[in-house]
Amino acid sequence: MSQQTGRIIKTYNGYYYVLGDNGTWYTCKVRGRLKQKRFVIAAGDRVELDAAGEEGMITEILPRRNLLQRPLVANVDWLAAVFACADPDPSFLLIDKLLALAEAANIPAVLVLNKADLAPEGFFDRLEAVYAPLGYPVLQVEAKNGKGLDALLEKISDSTVVFGGPSGVGKSTLLNHLNPELSLKTGQVSAKIGRGRHTTRFAELLPFQGGYIVDTPGFGNIDLAELVMDDAAQGFRELKARAGQCRFSGCTHTHEPDCAVKAAVAAGEIAASRYESYCMIRQELAAQKKRGQKS
């Protein structure tokens, strides 16, 4: 038996596949002692393990740089928030939820709008006008035909880039184009439910250009249950930038007078859709907390 360190590349059915820093692959379980503590262990985590041959017992999770909660991946350099221009239609709320999770976890994000071939007139400009001023690069791609991928490729070298987004938007198709050797499974968008069929089942780190690209299962909605975000404003760059500018400290930017945020919305300096998303997320988090207190 030897002590090794490595990174969790994939989790599957209670097993953790770890690439050791020595280049060996280990199939691991988690040591019981670790299980007694409240623990979260995610793809991308760096761990210590007791190894015997190609099997291992994870004994310690090493300190993380960050943790993206949904999709659950640790030590992330970038989130590529992938949405489709249509089929399935994007929702501002879902885009903002995903960006907020990344923001609250201190992970920079790029907004990737796939299925450009299906984009309604003016769609890209509309989204770029909302997100580019906030510092989110907005990229338009057509994964199916490998179009527009260069700008994305530039961001990827030597880093861990998570591709997250709803089911059926084309995350796996995109990754297959970036690296044709992957041949990830892709699925049709169901005509009946108008979204993908959750073709990808598990988050997996895929070696790419000195780093990793991470394919993740799509979601229907992001349920904010159990997510670590005390304050919805932490997820919004334009609200953080105005922290301390309202008359009341602890202003929730909803009903208070002399609110710098509401003033900025009225002046068109904050996009109405972003403010709406903030209010929705705030309500959802509050409802969550209430439910948590009851149980």
Ligand X SMILES: Nc1nc2c(ncn2[C@@H]2O[C@H](COP(=O)(O)OP(=O)(O)OP(=O)(O)O)[C@@H](O)[C@H]2O)c(=O)[nH]1
Of residues 114 and 172, the one with the C-beta less far from Mg ion: 172
Cβ-contact 83, 113 below 8 angstroms = yes
| Smallest separation, CB 64 to ligand X (Å) | 24
Per DSSP, the three-state class of 92 is helix
Of residues 80 and 285, the one with the C-beta less far from Mg ion: 80
By the criterion CB under 5 A, which residues form the site for Mg ion?
171-172, 199-200
Q: Which long-range contacts (CB under 8 A, 24 or more apart) does 13-22 make?
A: 16/41, 16/47, 16/58, 18/47, 18/49, 18/56, 18/58, 20/49, 20/51
Residue closest to 85 by CA, chosen among 129, 125, 115, 110: 115
Among 58, 246, 264, 265, binds Zn ion (CB under 5 A): 246
Among 97, 186, 229, 259, binds ligand X (CB under 6 A): 186
Of residues 187 and 231, the one with the C-beta less far from Mg ion: 187
Rule CB under 6 A: is residue 142 a binding residue for ligand X? yes
Cβ-contact 109, 140 below 8 angstroms = no
Residues 193-222 interacting with ligand X (rule: CB under 6 A): 196-200, 217-218
| Smallest separation, CB 240 to Zn ion (Å) | 12
Beta bridge partners of 82: 112
Q: Could you give the CA distance from residue 110 to residue 118 in angstroms, rounded to a whole number?
A: 20
Q: Could you give the CA distance from residue 118 to residue 80 in angstroms, rounded to a whole number?
A: 20
Q: What does the per-residue mask of binding to ligand X show for 35-74, with x meaning CB under 6 A?
A: ----------------------------------------
- Note the Cα 177 to chain centre separation in Å: 20
- List % helix, strand, coil for the chain (3-state, nearest 5): 30, 25, 45
Residue closest to 277 by CA, chosen among 144, 109, 96, 139: 96
Rule CB under 6 A: is residue 88 a binding residue for ligand X? no
Rule CB under 5 A: is residue 233 a binding residue for Zn ion? no
Of residues 11 and 199, the one with the C-beta less far from Mg ion: 199
| Smallest separation, CB 116 to Zn ion (Å) | 37
How many chain residues interact with Zn ion (CB under 5 A)?
Answer: 5
What H or E segment, with its residue span, contains residue 262?
helix 260-266
Among 101, 109, 130, 261, binds Zn ion (CB under 5 A): 261
| Smallest separation, CB 101 to Zn ion (Å) | 22
| Smallest separation, CB 266 to Zn ion (Å) | 12
Residues that bind ligand X (CB under 6 A): 114-115, 117-118, 142-144, 167-173, 186-189, 196-200, 217-218
Residues that bind Zn ion (CB under 5 A): 246, 251, 253, 259, 261
